[in-house]
């Protein structure tokens, strides 16, 4: 009888209780952030109190020891542990989807298996290594929760989930994360509670497994290897993914993840990144194409007058008035709009929206659109591992001294390694700025442009100068805060509730002032200088306002999506150039157009690009627009399909075919 007597005790002083206390502190942090988002609303939601009460109850349960329950768990440990271990991947699946508020029932009905199998892979691996059910559940659960946490923050900051390419650029993501405001949703609270519940369940399990023999360990590890090989082969060596995922949405990957599940969507994007030669590709075809271009267009002669060239890729530089009309209390780009003499203005299309700066940078410098690269890839991170042909290399071969300026961390997108390989002689990063002016936490455009002037003044007379400046002032992380006084704060007069967009427009106005200072300086210089300013992508701050203006402008869904990739460009010179207004061009053509405007010779590839531009003025990673202003998907067969394929062959040969690349077509002798 004494043995069956009910005994309870609260072991709150045990060292084993430390993880529980850490989780309690974490919950207090989460609930405080959640309440700070909308205190009045969230504080009165019954679910808020319900989750708090349940969390406290779980904490007490985890610390409470009841002898009868403990004996029961120990007596039936083999079966109880097995059942919990089998259910754990399902619970983790729910944690990941709930965290991003994905409650798509059709996805759960049709695609759960294709997600769950990857959670099983994780749990199976940990179990094969540890042979301990309790720690397998705890460790796997925490690892998956941390991964889902990363996915949640990427959703929060960029509006889309984690893609495989983001893992290659994690350092850049981490370095700018501090500039974003953290907030938690109810889905986040619920998923965190589910995770903690599974943790407590694993924490309370009794472990009775005997120490396995070496043979037993080898058998389990061997079975895991066989299982993993079968799974990987099914997903990556068969048509399973293509048969299940009819359309992989690269415009908005969140829709793919929502429709097919986070893990299945991620795996599908991994497969899409595989580097394969385009169908019908051969190095000989590339030679035939570029030989003809070289013969036909080899009339461009070198010029003795080599202007200094300054190319500025302005972070998130955009103008939403290109999509629709809206009124503000003041012009946010007064100087840029006023430029007329010796100026070429136009609209440029990028391949990215709200992020992915280095993709536009790569397109501009190399001429390779993301259309010729593996989808969702990050060229800077993956493919630039040796000297690479670029605008910088082309100018260097003509005697230019090349300087890259980026007022931020030099390691972002591996720029410190990539820039020398692209042909830059120097790279100046944030460490090269002394006591700069900060706007939010970023070095101002005014200081960034002043660094350009410093480099110009320090240059010798023997070499023309090429400067490529990637700014940071207007990087994402916009908030409702007013950064400047009323006289310098842009307000939307037609629409209310878009404070982050107003902050962004106010930042644009500061960029406009800085650009005016730069132009004023070079107007007074005798050396011929040409300055190009363009944006890398539109900002997330525009998202909701963009949709509103698209609706008011009666844009079709296709045109509305395409408009999200439009940014302005301005090309100005302090000497006579032919003025023009370019209706549309894409980033991959812009450097070739710049060479042509400067009167400088380009490579055979540059000549091919300018010929292609006449027929297809816009090509990016998502669509192309022909000379008749018709938008096409790559799945369509059109009169331009052959030309698109030629471009893909050349791009593959230039960027990815390390073995059979025709070097002579991509650089000047």
Whether the pLDDT of residue 607 is over 70: the answer is yes
Domains of the chain: 2-272 (no CATH), 306-641 (3.40.720.10)
Angle between helices 604-615 and 587-598 (to 10 degrees): 110
The pLDDT confidence band at residue 54, using thresholds 50, 70 and 90, is confident
Residue with the larger pLDDT of the pair 2 and 67: 67
Partners of 310 in the beta sheet? 467, 531
Residue with the larger pLDDT of the pair 17 and 307: 307
- Find which of 160-164, 273-277, 479-483, 649-653 is predicted with most confidence, using mean pLDDT: 649-653
The number of beta carbons lying within 10 Å of the beta carbon of residue 406 is 27
On whether the CB atoms of residues 256 and 100 are closer than 8 A, the answer is: no
On whether the CB atoms of residues 176 and 477 are closer than 8 A, the answer is: yes
Q: Is 135 exposed, middle or buried (0-12, 13-18, 19+ CB in 10 A)?
A: middle
The H or E element containing residue 571 is: strand 566-573
Q: Is 238 exposed, middle or buried (0-12, 13-18, 19+ CB in 10 A)?
A: exposed
Spell out a b/e string for 491-520, using b for 16 or more CB atoms within 10 Å of the CB, else e: bbeeeeebbbbbbbbbbbbbbbebbbebbe
On whether the CB atoms of residues 390 and 399 are closer than 8 A, the answer is: no
Whether the pLDDT of residue 493 is over 80: the answer is yes
Distance CA 321, CA 347 (A): 12
Whether the pLDDT of residue 410 is over 80: the answer is yes
Dihedral over alpha carbons 359, 365, 368, 371 (to 10 degrees): 30
Whether the pLDDT of residue 504 is over 70: the answer is yes
The pLDDT confidence band at residue 484, using thresholds 50, 70 and 90, is very high
Whether the pLDDT of residue 259 is over 80: the answer is yes
Residue with the larger pLDDT of the pair 8 and 56: 56
- pLDDT for residue 247: 74
Instruction: Residue 663: name the closest of 605, 594, 589, 581 by CA.
Output: 605
Can you list the alpha helix ranges (DSSP code H) found in 100-185? 105-130, 133-158, 164-168, 170-177
Q: What is the pLDDT of residues 560-605, one digit of tens each?
A: 888 889 999 999 999 999 999 999 999 999 999 999 999 999 999 9
Whether the pLDDT of residue 251 is over 70: the answer is no
The pLDDT confidence band at residue 505, using thresholds 50, 70 and 90, is very high
Distance CA 67, CA 349 (A): 68
On whether the CB atoms of residues 483 and 477 are closer than 8 A, the answer is: no
The whole-chain average pLDDT of the chain stands at 89
- pLDDT for residue 338: 96
The pLDDT confidence band at residue 34, using thresholds 50, 70 and 90, is confident
Distance CA 78, CA 83 (A): 9
């Amino acid at each position: 009888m004494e043995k069956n007597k009910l005994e309870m005790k609260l072991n709150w002083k045990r060292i084993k209780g430390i993880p529980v206390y850490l989780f309690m502190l974490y919950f207090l942090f989460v609930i405080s952030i959640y309440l700070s988002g909308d205190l009045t609303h969230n504080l009165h939601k019954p679910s808020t109190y319900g989750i708090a009460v349940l969390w406290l109850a779980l904490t007490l349960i985890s610390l409470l020891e009841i002898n009868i329950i403990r004996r029961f768990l120990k007596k039936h440990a083999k079966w109880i542990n097995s059942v919990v271990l089998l259910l754990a991947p399902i619970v983790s699946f729910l944690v990941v989807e709930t965290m991003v508020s994905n409650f798509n029932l059709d996805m759960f009905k049709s695609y759960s298996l294709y997600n769950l199998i990857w959670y099983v892979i994780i749990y199976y691996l940990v179990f094969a290594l540890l042979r301990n059910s309790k720690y397998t559940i705890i460790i796997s659960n925490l690892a998956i929760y941390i991964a889902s946490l990363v996915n949640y923050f990427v959703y929060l900051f960029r509006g889309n989930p984690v893609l495989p390419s983001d893992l290659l650029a994690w350092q850049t993501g981490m370095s700018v994360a501090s500039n974003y405001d953290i907030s938690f949703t109810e889905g986040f609270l619920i998923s965190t509670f589910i995770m903690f519940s599974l943790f407590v369940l694993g924490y309370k399990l009794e472990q009775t497994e005997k120490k396995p023999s070496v043979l037993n360990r080898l058998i389990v590890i061997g079975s895991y290897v066989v299982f993993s090989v079968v799974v990987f082969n099914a997903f990556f060596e068969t048509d399973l993914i293509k048969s299940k995922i009819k359309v992989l949405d690269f415009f908005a990957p969140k829709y793919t993840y929502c429709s097919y599940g986070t893990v299945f969507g991620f795996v599908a994007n991994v497969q899409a990144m595989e580097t394969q030669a385009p169908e019908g590709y051969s190095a000989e075809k590339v030679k035939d194409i570029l030989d003809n271009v070289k013969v036909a267009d080899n009339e461009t002669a070198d010029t003795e007058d080599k202007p200094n060239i300054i190319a500025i890729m302005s972070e998130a530089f955009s103008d939403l008035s290109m999509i629709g009309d809206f009124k503000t209390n003041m012009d946010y780009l007064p100087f840029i709009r006023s430029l007329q003499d010796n100026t070429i203005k136009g609209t440029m299309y990028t391949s990215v929206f709200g992020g992915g700066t280095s993709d536009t940078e790569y397109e501009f410098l190399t001429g390779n659109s993301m259309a010729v690269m593996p989808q969702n890839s990050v060229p800077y991170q993956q493919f630039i591992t040796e000297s690479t042909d670029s605008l910088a290399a082309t100018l260097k071969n003509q005697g230019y001294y090349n300087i890259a300026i980026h007022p931020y961390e030099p390691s972002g997108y591996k720029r410190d390694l990539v820039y020398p390989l692209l042909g830059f002689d120097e790279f100046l990063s944030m460490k090269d700025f002394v006591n700069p002016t900060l706007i939010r936490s970023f070095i101002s455009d005014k200081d960034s442009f002043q660094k350009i002037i410093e480099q110009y003044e320090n240059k010798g007379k023997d070499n023309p100068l090429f400067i490529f400046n990637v700014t940071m002032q207007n990087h994402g992380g916009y908030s409702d805060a007013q950064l400047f006084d009323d006289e310098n704060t842009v307000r939307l007069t037609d629409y209310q509730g878009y404070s982050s967009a107003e902050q962004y427009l106010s930042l644009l106005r500061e960029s406009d002032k800085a650009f005016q200072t730069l132009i004023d300086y070079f107007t007074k210089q005798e050396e011929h200088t040409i300055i190009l300013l363009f944006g890398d992508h539109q900002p997330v701050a525009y998202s909701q306002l963009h949709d509103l203006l698209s609706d008011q402008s009666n844009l079709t869904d296709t045109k509305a999506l395409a408009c999200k990739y439009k940014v302005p460009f301005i090309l100005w010179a302090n000497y006579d150039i032919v003025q023009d207004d370019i209706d549309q061009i894409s980033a991959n053509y812009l450097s070739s157009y710049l060479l042509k405007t400067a009167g400088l010779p380009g490579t055979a590839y540059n000549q091919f690009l300018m010929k292609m531009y006449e027929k297809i003025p816009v090509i990016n990673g998502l669509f192309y627009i022909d000379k008749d202003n018709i938008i096409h998907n790559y799945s369509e067969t059109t009169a331009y399909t052959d030309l698109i394929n030629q471009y893909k062959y050349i791009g593959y040969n230039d960027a990815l075919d390390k073995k059979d690349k025709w070097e002579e077509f991509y650089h000047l002798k």
